[in-house]
Amino acid sequence: MTTRKKQIVRTAAQLFKQRGYSAVTMRDLAAAMDIKAASLYNHISGKQEILEQLILEVARKFTAGMDAVKKNDGTAFAKAEQLIALHIKIAVENTDALAVLNTDWMHLEGAAYEEYIASRKKYELDFKQILKEGIASGEFKNLSVETILFNLLSTLRSIYLWIPKKSATEVADLKKELPNILLTGLRA
């Protein structure tokens, strides 16, 4: 991706996060970049391309992270800790894009929509499998996997809202403490 295209995507992510995908026009994006709207089309085909790039890039990071965790020989508890760390890392490094993923994924179209939905379902199934393994091995309490996953993902999917308001020290504390806070109640 060219430097200019990266700038366009980064600026669009900020605008989409602030106003929502539907409320941002190509003219808004051009104005934010101090260029003519027609110039944007030298680098991108439109808003949908930007949305696809933002969301699928983050989704692929989650997929790659999950794949790495699943290959680990560690305990289910250790894998759950690693997944929490993955969410924090992605939220810190991709705050705006993660906000767009969480709030505007439903605006994806065609193959991009299908890819996102498939990757999200697979991620959740893989996470459930790790939780089931933890219950079967006695690492986690015998609770509903659906409830556990809902609880964990509800917290993890909202981290991007918290991070921009916090200092580097507070983010470091989050990285250290959140796995313990989220998983302590699950420990058998």
CATH classification at residue 175: 1.10.357.10
Give me 32's structure tokens: 């934010």
Query: How far is Cα 66 from Cα 122, in angstroms, rounded to an integer?
Result: 10
In terms of residue numbers, what domain contains 142?
47-184
**47 φ, ψ (degrees, to nearest 5):** -60, -40
Give me 143's structure tokens: 């609770």
Query: How far is Cα 64 from Cα 67, in angstroms, rounded to an integer?
Result: 5
The distance from CA 132 to its chain's CA centroid, rounded to whole angstroms, is 23
Query: How far is Cα 42 from Cα 45, in angstroms, rounded to an integer?
Result: 8
Considering the domain boundaries, does residue 120 fall inside one? yes
pLDDT over threshold 90, residue 22: yes
Mark residue 138 as left, alpha or beta (left: phi above 0; alpha: psi -120 to 50; beta: remaining): left
Considering the domain boundaries, does residue 15 fall inside one? no
| Strand extents, DSSP E, the chain | none
Give me 126's structure tokens: 């893989």
Q: Give every CB contact of residue 87 below 8 A, 6+ residues apart in sequence.
A: 156, 157, 159
The predicted structure's pLDDT at residue 187: 87
Instruction: Quickly tell me which residue has 């295209």 as its tokens.
Output: 5
| 3-state secondary structure at position 187 | strand
The predicted structure's pLDDT at residue 84: 96
| pLDDT single digits (tens) 97-153 | 999 999 999 999 999 999 999 999 999 999 999 999 999 999 999 999 999 999 999
| pLDDT single digits (tens) 53-103 | 999 999 999 999 999 999 999 999 999 999 999 999 999 999 999 999 999
Sign of the Cα torsion 114, 117, 120, 125 reads negative
Considering the domain boundaries, does residue 11 fall inside one? no
CA-to-CA dists, residue 41 to 21, 68, 78, 122, 129, angstroms: 18, 37, 46, 34, 44
Considering the domain boundaries, does residue 10 fall inside one? no
Amino acid at 33: M
Considering the domain boundaries, does residue 5 fall inside one? no
**Total domains present in the chain:** 1
Considering the domain boundaries, does residue 65 fall inside one? yes
The predicted structure's pLDDT at residue 76: 97
Considering the domain boundaries, does residue 36 fall inside one? no
Considering the domain boundaries, does residue 6 fall inside one? no
